[in-house]
């Protein structure tokens, strides 16, 4: 069995021991305060190694590590806490009460409503393109990986199973998407995040901000249903003529007075930039469709497609145990091996480790100037699975 890799922890532990026992922290007579400061500094380094670098999982490590078990418990709890905090924030900036009757009367959609042979356009300027298809043949494979993901298992076994499972799901989705003039294959598809958690955790109308990190790429998103035995809590697809093919990621915030605020959805740590204000939701001519999906059903959509987690359980104070998997897929440009990148997006602020590697791979001319295509810096993503992140 591969050993647990503790090497990154040696420096902070040794430094802390020397300072503590040698008395070097006793500066200006403040020995206790000095020792506490050193301990906090060492704990910070320890925490960074634990959470950011996954020190217990060197190449080939197994999930049977005792330290790995402890980390999974902490990491899963921390991730769940962050998701709940994010959901509570989204709920706090939206007032959905007056929209419940409209959502209740909206039509539903299932696999029966779509031609199995039909495909949707997933070019970067495509809008409001989506369909549901039967992907039950891979349900057991997805379930097995979700059991690992929900307990934050990042062992070698779990990572290998995850990559294989995602390839199976993406391969199934490729039969239902198209880009004019191209025949897409699995090698064209670079997975850009894979997330899962229980609950209706993003109850606001939006299209995903993460695509701004790779702004000029064709892309699509997969939403795979695993569990929901309730009549609510899935997702609504939203449509409004206000959305344009040149729009940056946006979300529509429901206000207490019945108005709607359209904002730039850039995941800013504070208030997002207002783009437009509508006196009434009727001014947007919104229509909604509820995804009446069962386990094994899969929805695929173009990146400029508005959607929202079902907000009704939040309005009614109900607990939703729905479990779904969300996968975003970047499509490699047909004319070059590089992707356009904007490395200052909040996605990279929350995922610093891959950014450090990608920044080194951003292409430059011999004179040191960045290579740009359509105004965007260019980067070669190391592999199709490089950007996968369960959280």
Q: Which of 17-26, 88-97, 317-326 reaches the highest mean pLDDT? A: 317-326
- 299/35 Cα distance (integer angstroms): 55
Bridge partners of 264?
Answer: 250
pLDDT at 6: 46
Examine residue 250 and state whether it is found in any structural domain, yes or no.
yes
pTM for the whole thing? 0.78
Examine residue 41 and state whether it is found in any structural domain, yes or no.
no
Please provide the average confidence, as pLDDT, over all residues in the chain.
81
Q: How confident is the model at residue 150 (pLDDT cuts 50, 70, 90)?
A: low
pLDDT at 177: 97
Nearest C-alpha neighbor of 179 from the set 383, 335, 377: 335
- 135/132 Cα distance (integer angstroms): 9
For 108-112, which contacts have Cβ atoms below 8 Å and span 24 or more sequence positions? 108/289, 108/290, 108/291, 108/292, 109/237, 109/289, 109/290, 109/291, 109/292, 110/292, 110/293, 110/294, 110/297, 111/293, 111/297
Examine residue 1 and state whether it is found in any structural domain, yes or no.
no
Flag whether pLDDT at 3 surpasses 80.
no
Q: Work out the end-to-end distance of the chain between its first and last CA atoms, rounded to an integer number of angstroms.
A: 27
Q: How confident is the model at residue 275 (pLDDT cuts 50, 70, 90)?
A: very high
Q: What is the pLDDT of residues 312-335, one digit of tens each?
A: 888 888 888 888 999 999 999 999
Mean pLDDT value across residues 115-132: 95
Bridge partners of 261?
Answer: 253, 277
pLDDT at 133: 97
What is the span of the domain harbouring residue 172? 97-379
Examine residue 387 and state whether it is found in any structural domain, yes or no.
no
Task: Give me the DSSP letters along 274-309.
Answer: EEEEESSGGGGT-EEEEE---TTEEEEEESB--EEE
Examine residue 148 and state whether it is found in any structural domain, yes or no.
yes
Tell me the CATH number at 344. Answer: 2.60.120
Lowest mean pLDDT among 52-56, 85-89, 169-173, 339-343: 52-56
pLDDT at 260: 94
pLDDT at 352: 62
Examine residue 88 and state whether it is found in any structural domain, yes or no.
no
More confident residue, 369 or 43: 369
Mean pLDDT value across residues 136-146: 89
- In the sheet that holds 372-373, the strands lie side by side as 339-341, 376-379, 372-373
Check if the beta carbon of residue 194 is closer than 8 Å to that of residue 388: yes
pLDDT at 330: 96
- Mapped onto helix, strand or coil, the DSSP state of residue 358 is helix
Check if the beta carbon of residue 327 is closer than 8 Å to that of residue 224: yes
Number of domains in the chain: 1
Within 13 Å of residue 272, how many CA atoms lie on the same side as its CB?
Answer: 21
Examine residue 75 and state whether it is found in any structural domain, yes or no.
no
- 206/240 Cα distance (integer angstroms): 11
- 201/309 Cα distance (integer angstroms): 6
Examine residue 295 and state whether it is found in any structural domain, yes or no.
yes
Rg (CA), the chain: 23
């Amino acid at each position: 069995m591969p050993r647990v890799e503790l090497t990154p922890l040696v420096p902070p532990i040794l430094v802390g021991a020397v300072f503590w026992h040698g008395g070097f922290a006793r500066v200006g007579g403040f020995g206790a305060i000095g020792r506490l400061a050193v301990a906090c500094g060492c704990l910070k380094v320890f925490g960074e190694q634990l959470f950011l670098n996954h020190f217990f999982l060197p190449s080939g490590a197994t999930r049977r590590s005792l330290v790995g078990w402890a980390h999974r418990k902490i990491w899963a709890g921390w991730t769940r806490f962050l998701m709940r905090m994010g959901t509570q924030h989204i709920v706090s900036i939206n007032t959905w009460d007056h929209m419940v009757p409209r959502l209740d009367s909206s039509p539903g959609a299932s696999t029966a409503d779509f031609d199995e042979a039909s495909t949707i356009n997933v070019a970067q300027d495509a809008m409001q393109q989506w369909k549901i298809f039967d992907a039950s043949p891979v349900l057991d494979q997805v379930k097995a990986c979700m059991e690992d993901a929900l307990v934050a298992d990042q062992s070698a076994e779990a990572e290998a199973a995850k990559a294989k499972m995602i390839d199976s799901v993406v391969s199934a989705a490729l039969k239902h998407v198209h880009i004019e003039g191209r025949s897409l294959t699995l090698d064209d598809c670079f997975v850009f995040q894979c997330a899962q958690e229980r609950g209706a955790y993003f109850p606001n109308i939006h299209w995903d901000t993460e695509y701004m990190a790779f702004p000029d790429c064709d892309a699509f998103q997969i939403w795979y249903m695993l569990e929901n035995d309730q009549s609510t809590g899935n997702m609504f697809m939203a449509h409004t003529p206000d959305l344009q093919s040149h729009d940056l990621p946006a979300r529509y915030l429901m206000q207490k007075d019945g108005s709607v605020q359209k904002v730039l959805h850039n995941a800013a740590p504070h208030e997002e930039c207002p783009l437009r204000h509508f006196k009434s939701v009727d001014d947007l001519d919104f229509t909604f469709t509820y995804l009446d999906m069962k386990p094994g059903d899969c929805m695929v959509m173009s990146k400029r497609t508005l959607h929202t987690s079902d907000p009704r359980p939040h309005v009614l104070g109900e607990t939703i145990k729905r479990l779904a998997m969300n996968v975003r897929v970047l499509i490699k440009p047909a004319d070059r091996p590089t992707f356009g990148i904007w490395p200052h997006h909040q996605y990279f602020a929350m995922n610093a480790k891959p950014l450090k590697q990608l920044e080194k791979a951003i292409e430059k001319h011999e004179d040191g100037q960045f290579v740009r295509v359509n105004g965007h810096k260019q980067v070669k993503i190391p592999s199709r699975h490089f950007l996968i992140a369960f959280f």
